Structure 1
């Protein structure tokens, strides 16, 4: 299985040497559940693009510090890529910005939320196999999906982000607002870096405290990797 990672964001230069870039985080998260996968990266934020959606068996869309509404030269082409891959039936996973961008590309809407920043560990309620399960997951976002695209089902969300997990019924697309690739150390470092500037202290302090509990990254990895394998016929 060849999985293409489309890098839409860059880890802060003060953190990348310790924690790696976003594609490295995704490889660490998914490899235990997809040990035979061959991961390839294109940094779309730097102008790198695959030839087309069939270059890989599946695609992962990463987070980004940008919003889907920003006037960056790579955002509109990435929306086009999402639509092309959906039409071609190539599975796609979207995380955080990738979740929002897929919603925008496929007929929904994402924007800055009046609820403000979500950071630290949030509790997501997700319907899987006919039963609702709770997933404590790391989040880091101001924007969120506010209008669900046609053909998308809301699998779950949190009190802060009700449309937090979407599965599309007319295309093999699964997206989530949370960050299953983030570990607690990276999330804490990121919150400390942003506290008092982009993240208000009143949000940063409880977000840091929430990281005393572990996220359900492995459980989310088993579920999302299982979804990919099912879409690719095992």
Structure 2
């Protein structure tokens, strides 16, 4: 067996805090996903850095990260990412989308992404898994807690896609498309520390009000995300499948 190869399509710039504490978001993803006998590459797609078409067949799968940008936007790099997703879909390459990645997958495959009518979701939230999720080796519970930080959401699924998790805030917390694409609206890779720092940055940029941030911080402190279960679920999908 040769080394498996994966790529992270990075859609956001590293914050100073994440660089200092974790070595950057790429290292955050590596901590969650990397195993022995694998090669992982990073492409800063938000800066226009994409894998070459001729190299796509070398990869066993890709992860699309979160972003401060809107998945329904028409920046050149977002449109180029949509084009890349369509190519990877035609090749049946595994793709795992996280937050913005989840949303841009929905857009590329024919769904609709828009701001949530109920606004931001920031903190730790319990989501309900569909009984149709088939990871028999994982023995998943019916509910999982995950860190959330998003204002947009998938409002209409692509044809042939299936909702596999939802919450009382967001109707499409997870979806699958065929056996090779899965989107997760929350952040399985985040730690509580990353979330709290992100809340502070959102306040500084006037994206959220201090009163809202107080509630988000309280949820982050009181509730615990199911980090280890998410790690196993994401690894199982990328390397084994549904």
TM-score (norm 1): 0.91
CA contact (8 A) 2:17 2:197 kept: no
1:65: how far off?
0.2
1:97 and 2:100 aligned: yes
- Measure, in 1, the Cα distance between the counterparts of 2:170 and 2:93: 27
Q: Tell me which of 78, 82, 91 is aligned to 1:79.
A: 82
1:128-143 superposed matches below 5 A:
128-129=133-134, 133-143=142-152
**Cα offset for 1:47?**
1.6
RMSD (Å) for aligned C-alpha atoms: 1.9
Q: Within 1, Cα distance between the matches of 2:22 and 2:211? A: 26
Alpha-carbon distance in 2 for matches of 1:206, 1:36: 43
Q: How many residues align?
A: 229
Asked if the contact 1:123–1:136 (Cα under 8 Å) also holds between the matched residues in 2, the reply is yes
List gaps (5 residues or longer) in structure 1: none
Q: 1:207 aligned to 2:221? A: no
Partner of 1:160: 169
CA distance in 2, matches of 1:12, 1:132: 34
Shift of 1:14: 4.9
Within 2, Cα distance between the matches of 1:221 and 1:14? 23
Structure 2 SS opposite 1:79: helix
Preserved CA contact (<8 Å) 1:119 1:203: no
Deviation at 1:145, TM superposition (A): 0.4
Q: 2:123 aligns with which of 107, 114, 120?
A: 120
- Aligned partner of 2:183 in structure 1 is 175
Calculate the TM-score normalised by the size of structure 2.
0.89
| 1-structure distance, mates of 2:44, 2:81 | 11
Aligned partners of 2:168, 2:151: CA distance in 1, in Å?
Answer: 14
- The range that moved more, 122-131 or 45-54, is 122-131
**Which runs of 5 or more structure 2 residues have no equivalent in the other structure?**
none
Query: Residues of 2 paired with 1:132 and 1:107: CA distance?
Result: 30
Matched, 1:147 2:156: yes
